[in-house]
């Protein structure tokens, strides 16, 4: 039996998305794995963006490391993945009226997003008799999976809860994050990305949906100052503009922009999205309505590339990607659960943010609220701590400290009462 780990910390230093505690989280977890859980140092891959001695946590590097971690696993191995950094919710861009969900993503330093569907494809490769524990100290991390059993948390309830809404005089059932929520979210972010501030939307939706304060804003909690680890779409778009030098990037063009920037190294789901858009262009399939307009922005962007002389090479990475159905590219439509041997500890619920705290004002003392709670709990227990106990205690600690985020636990009943990581 081997113990192997991948630890990723993104501080995004020097950018508008800058955080302070993510690399510290990784350093503390590294010491915990080697000292407490006896992971061999040579079996731990560390990716941080503050030290050139370590590989940078770009999208391509993280994907390669995750692939190596799971594909190199053998019977009985213990696998561990810890991500500390930004999360982002990417709204639908296809232009199809039934594409009304979100892709929850983790945010590598180069903005080459890794979606929840991509993540599911990685963890499906884990051998059935391995234990794979995932800690995601990022925003919206409760949305990284949907079909695994939610032992502790409210993300499944939030997503599956139905309500009666009226469309054109007709009563229809809609999930809590439905068409109108998506429309409002997309319109708001479209204006925000152009530097136009709209009034708060707090008046007509659930309060928990509005923990997504801007990352540049400093928030107060009982221990000092904190930023959150949610990357607003307006900030993502601004960074993409800076990286590309283009000013035409907007909501509706994010996925094509990511494909344009990263090509073969782009998210598999992004490549599937571009392939479907290209197919729609060829068939002149144009959707109506506001969402159709957003989809058309992406189509126009792509059409300019397809009209160029090297268009065949440009679209090659997308066209070589297998898409079994159009629904594979829809935000929120194809999410799968982690394997029955997997355990996910999320920093918060799908509609919440996770805190990046800096209680003393010294970056050396900054941390992620969940990561710090885990280290606190483990330091207080000499013996094993069950996954369920860990998350319950983490919730208690964060509540006492004044944080509003609620960590979650996703796994089978057996693993809920099994020790965190391993004996």
| 419 secondary structure, DSSP code | B
Give me the sheet containing 78-84, strands edge to edge: 44-48, 3-9, 78-84, 131-137, 342-346, 408-410, 150-152
Burial 134-159 (b: 16+ CB within 10 A, else e): bbbbbbbbbbbbbebbbbbbbbbebb
Look up 105 and say whether it is catalytic.
no
E-strand ranges in 247-341 read none
Are the CB atoms for 355 and 372 separated by under 8 Å? no
Rounded-to-integer distance, Cα 103 and Cα 365, Å: 32
Judged on CB neighbours under 10 Å (0-12, 13-18, 19+), 354 is: buried
- In this structure, what token pair is assigned to residue 175? 């999930």
Rounded-to-integer distance, Cα 104 and Cα 59, Å: 15
Are the CB atoms for 11 and 86 separated by under 8 Å? no
Q: Pick the catalytic residue: 82, 86, 140, 188?
A: 86
Look up 139 and say whether it is catalytic.
yes
Tokens 């283009």 belong to residue? 246
Q: Pick the catalytic residue: 22, 32, 105, 139?
A: 139
Q: Which one, of 375, 333, 368, 394, lies nearest residue 92 by Cα?
A: 333
Are the CB atoms for 344 and 136 separated by under 8 Å? yes
Q: Which residues pair with 3 in a beta bridge?
A: 78
Enumerate residues 6+ apart whose C-beta is below 8 A from 261. Answer: 111, 112, 240, 243, 244
Residues known to be catalytic:
86, 139
């Amino acid at each position: 039996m081997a113990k192997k780990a991948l630890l990723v910390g993104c501080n995004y230093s020097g950018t508008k998305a800058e955080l302070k505690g993510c690399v510290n989280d990784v350093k503390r977890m590294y010491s915990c794995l080697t000292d407490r859980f006896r992971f061999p140092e040579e079996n731990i891959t560390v990716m941080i963006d503050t030290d050139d001695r370590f590989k940078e946590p770009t999208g391509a590097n993280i994907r390669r490391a995750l692939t190596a971690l799971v594909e190199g696993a053998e019977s009985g191995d213990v696998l561990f993945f810890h991500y500390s950094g930004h999360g982002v919710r990417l709204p639908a861009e296809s232009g199809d009226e039934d594409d009304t969900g979100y892709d929850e993503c983790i945010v590598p330093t180069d903005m080459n997003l890794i979606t929840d569907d991509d993540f599911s494809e990685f963890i499906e490769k884990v051998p059935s008799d391995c234990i794979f524990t995932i800690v995601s100290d990022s925003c919206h991390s409760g949305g990284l999976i949907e079909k695994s059993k939610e032992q502790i948390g409210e993300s499944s309830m939030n997503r599956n809860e139905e309500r009666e809404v009226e469309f054109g005089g007709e009563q229809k059932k809609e999930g809590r994050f439905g068409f109108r929520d998506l429309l409002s979210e997309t319109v708001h972010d479209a204006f925000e990305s152009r530097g136009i501030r709209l009034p708060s939307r707090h008046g007509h939706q659930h309060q928990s949906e509005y923990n997504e304060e801007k990352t540049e804003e400093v928030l107060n909690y009982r221990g000092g100052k904190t930023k959150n680890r949610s990357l607003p779409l307006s900030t993502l778009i601004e960074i993409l503009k800076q990286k590309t030098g283009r000013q035409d990037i907007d909501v509706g063009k994010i996925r094509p922009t990511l494909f344009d920037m990263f090509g073969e190294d782009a998210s598999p789901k992004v490549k599937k999205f571009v392939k479907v858009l290209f197919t729609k262009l060829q068939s002149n399939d144009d959707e109506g309505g506001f969402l159709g307009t957003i989809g058309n922005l992406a189509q126009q962007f792509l059409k300019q590339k397809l009209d160029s002389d090297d268009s065949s090479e440009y679209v090659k990475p997308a066209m070589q990607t297998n898409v079994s159905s159009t629904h594979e590219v829809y935000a929120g439509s194809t999410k799968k659960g982690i394997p029955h041997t997997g355990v996910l500890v999320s920093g918060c619920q799908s509609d919440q943010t996770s805190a990046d705290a800096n209680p003393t004002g010294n970056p050396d003392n900054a941390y992620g609220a969940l990561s710090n709670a885990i280290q606190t709990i483990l330091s207080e227990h000499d013996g094993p701590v069950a996954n369920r106990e860990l998350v319950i205690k983490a919730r208690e600690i964060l509540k006492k400290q004044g944080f509003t985020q609620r960590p979650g636990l996703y796994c089978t009943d057996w693993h809920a009462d099994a020790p965190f990581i391993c004996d």
